Amino acid sequence: MKQSQSKRLAEQTEKHKISDETMEYVGILAKLELSAQEQKEASEDMERMLAYIDKLNELDTSGIEPMSHIFSVNNVFREDIVKEQDGGEDTLANAPEQRNRAFVVPKTVDQ
């Protein structure tokens, strides 16, 4: 059984042979400078990935609802409570120095 799976994976990998030109183009897009050996290894990795995707595509997912996340995600909203005050007085109460409802700070930029 394991040998037949290996054979099928090898056949699928062969079906998705990635050309050297494609690998060069991917390297350009990714702004990578790959040696010939690195290009060969990356090509083999990509071929295995495509073969695995083909294997996943064999599954019957007709009764499965598509999902964007593994957990059900719901937004949690709170009621907006309108208050008549902005809290400015409480904030300015801690200021070492204030003027016209604003913090007074040392000058940091010369003009």
Residue 99 host element (H or E): strand 98-99
What are the tokens at 52?
A: 């695995």
In the structure, what pLDDT confidence band is assigned to residue 29 with cuts at 50, 70 and 90? Answer: very high
- The number of domains in the chain is 1
Query: Would 40 be classed as within a structural domain?
Result: yes
What are the tokens at 42?
A: 């990356």
Asked if 40 and 24 count as a contact pair (C-beta separation under 8 A), the reply is: no
What pLDDT is attached to residue 68? 78
* DSSP bridge partners of 99: 102
Query: Would 106 be classed as within a structural domain?
Result: no
Query: Would 77 be classed as within a structural domain?
Result: no
Query: Would 42 be classed as within a structural domain?
Result: yes
What pLDDT is attached to residue 13? 59
Q: How do residues 60-94 score in pLDDT, each as one tens digit?
A: 888 888 887 778 777 788 888 887 777 778 888 88
What pLDDT is attached to residue 41? 92
pTM listed for this prediction = 0.46
Structural domain of residue 51, as residue ranges? 2-57
What is the arithmetic mean of pLDDT over 27-46?
A: 90
